[in-house]
Amino acid sequence: MKSTSSRSKRLPKLEISADGGGVANHVGTVALRELTDVLGLTTALSNALASSRKRSSAHDPGGVARDLVVMLADGGDCVSDLGALRDQPEVFGAVASTSTAWRIVDSITEKDLDGMREARRQARERAWRRGAAPSEIVLDIDATLVLAHSEKEQAASNYKRGFGFHPMLCYLDESEEALSGILRRGNATANDSADNIEVLEMALKQLPKSKKPQRILVRADSSGATHAFIARLRELEVEFSVGMDLYDSVKEAILNTPETAWLPAITQEGDEREGAWVCELSELDLSSWPSGTRAICRRERPHPGAQLKFTDHQGFRFQVFITDQSDADIVELEARHRGHARVENRIRCAKDTGLRNFPFHDFHANQVWLELVLAAQDLIAFFQRLCLHGDARGWEPKRLRYRLLHTAARLVHTGRRVVLKLQRNWHWTLMLYDAFRRLRKLAVA
């Protein structure tokens, strides 16, 4: 005899029918689509790509680029995923075919790409004016490997024995905006000074102009500890906080530091970090770096089961970074530098937003694809900061899509109006409804 608990867990047997109607999917993504208009991104892209339009009856290249950005933000990762929008013309309007979108991306020139970047800058400026501006400017630079599963232009083997590309990216830490990115061969090095400088200068151009002097901090791991890159930061009057390898001179300075110089480290929330200490390496020779450069070290007990190296003195792990910040509190400086690790989350989210592969054979077309991915990450960031509140502002794309963007609704025609009726008992319906209300207020502001 089956128990009562066993019977209660039995799933209901559902009958399946294929003749339903009046249902719309991905209706939360409509908010992203509308936000591109509110921020002027659609118009700016249309202006930037106007020269590539062959005939007036064809799809507007800027509109196609906008739809690709929305599709990527919605979770697509290849051009054919435009079908998720195209198959619902009553909701998303006329969306170009896969072949048309493919041709438009492939036809974008270097000048057009610069125009797309300017369009993103204009949209960012409008978003910041409407309340999306961060309270501080901290830029994080890092590179990542993207595999290619076929022979593509400039794809190459990388140091991890993979094959593909090694793009370098720059993110704005507080708002998670994707400021800039450059596509590189798979065998490109992470510490290439010219590439670091290029992605930095592209990121700075994305920042809206401010009437007040802005303090800008650039963070990077040890790949940013090159003299050419640091010198360029000094020329641009930008502060730096970059990792440093444990050279023999650095190790000696660490071991010669008296025990009394070590101060308890803190977490990102400001609480004491158990098993970690911080000190400034005042005896380390930094004369080859710009004046005012300081070296700060963190030592900590490794987590249980970690494999120690023979260079780990007395069971401690050491990490060192150099900075030209003049703040007296080295504990706070160390916690601020450790925040650079968040860039790994930004990159992981980028790979959930179209960066997991580059669909084109031509290198330049894949650079355009990278720009579309960055624009999609921006669109998500602006939507969260302008239309959501509370914890939802920090949701990663996967959670945002499941709870809001991929929501279904009834499509009702009444008079000359089309109404999307959100599901009443879906837990996140009121949040999505409120997001649409906030968005409509932005449109008339």
What pLDDT is attached to residue 415? 82
- The answer to whether position 431 is within a domain reads yes
What is the per-residue pLDDT for 22? Answer: 85
Q: What is d(CA 227, CA 233) in angstroms, rounded to the nearest whole number?
A: 10
Q: Has residue 413 been placed in a domain?
A: yes
Q: Along the chain (445 residues), what's the average pLDDT of each consecutive run of 10 residues?
A: 58 81 92 97 95 75 96 96 94 94 94 97 97 96 95 93 96 97 96 96 95 91 96 97 94 91 91 90 94 95 62 74 95 96 96 96 97 98 97 96 95 88 93 96 86
- Max CA-CA distance within the chain? 83
State residue 3's pLDDT score: 54
Find the angle CA(351)-CA(50)-CA(208) to the nearest 5 degrees: 60
Is residue 340 one of the residues assigned to a domain? Answer: no
- Total residues found in the chain within this entry: 445
Residue 389, in any domain of the structure: yes
| Backbone phi, psi, residue 181, to 5° | -165, 145
pLDDT the model gives residue 96: 95
DSSP string for 115-165: HHHHHHHHHHHHHIIIII--SSEEEEEEE--EE-SS--TT-EE-TTS-EEE
Burial of 314 (0-12, 13-18, 19+ CB in 10 A): exposed
pLDDT of 2 reads 53
Which of helix, strand or coil describes residue 48? helix
Domain limits for position 82:
19-111+359-444
What Rg, from alpha-carbon coordinates, does the chain have? Answer: 25
Please report whether residue 50 resides in a domain: yes
Question: What is the distance between the alpha carbons of residues 219 and 320, in angstroms, rounded to a whole number?
Answer: 13
Contacts of 68 (CB under 8 A, 6+ apart): 79, 82, 101, 105, 372
Total tally of structural domains belonging to the chain:
1
pLDDT at site 207: 97
Q: Which residues pair with 266 in a beta bridge?
A: 272
Which residue do the tokens 């009444």 mark? 414
Residue 81 forms part of a structural domain: yes
Dihedral sign, Cα of residue 168, residue 170, residue 173, residue 179: negative
- pLDDT at residue 310 in the model: 45
Q: Is residue 89 part of a domain?
A: yes
Between the CA atoms of 123, 124, 125 and 131, what dihedral angle is there, to the nearest 10 degrees? Answer: 110
Residue 375 lies in a domain: yes
DSSP 185: B
